[in-house]
Amino acid sequence: MRLLLDTHTFIWAATWDDRLSETAQALFLDSSNELYLSTASIWEMAIKTSIGKLLLQQPIEQIINEQIQINGLQILNIESAHALAVASLPWHHRDPFDRLLVSQSKLEHMPILGCDSIMDAYAIDRKW
């Protein structure tokens, strides 16, 4: 199964955080799944580290590169269709990064692996 990781899921999985659910951990570690991290999540983490809202033990780039090697993580680039589809989403959620992830999930037919239940209002497949 192809899975789009929510930003927090990527961070929690990469740092073995206890907030990662058992189901999410099992899906993350299942080598038959294809794990995707959106460029939107990379951008979000970069912004949050630069303003001090996200503190990590290692640079983001190092964490991402390790996950590419260890878990076969793939990067999902933001295509113009992803960005344009955000305009048609209802305003269930105002977070611009999450709205873009929802758009990518819909267009790529890929479940989001994340705990944010507000995304369920968009009728996407969310695993947690």
Distance in angstroms (rounded) separating the CA atoms of residues 123 and 128:
15
Supply the pLDDT for residue 55. Answer: 93
Amino acid letter, 58: Q
Domain ranges of the chain: 2-127
Which CATH superfamily includes the segment(s) 2-127?
5'-nuclease (3.40.50.1010)
- pLDDT (tens digit, 0 to 9) for every residue of the chain, 128 residues total? 999 999 999 999 999 999 999 999 999 999 999 999 999 999 999 999 999 999 999 999 999 999 999 999 999 999 999 999 999 999 998 999 999 999 999 999 999 999 999 999 999 999 99
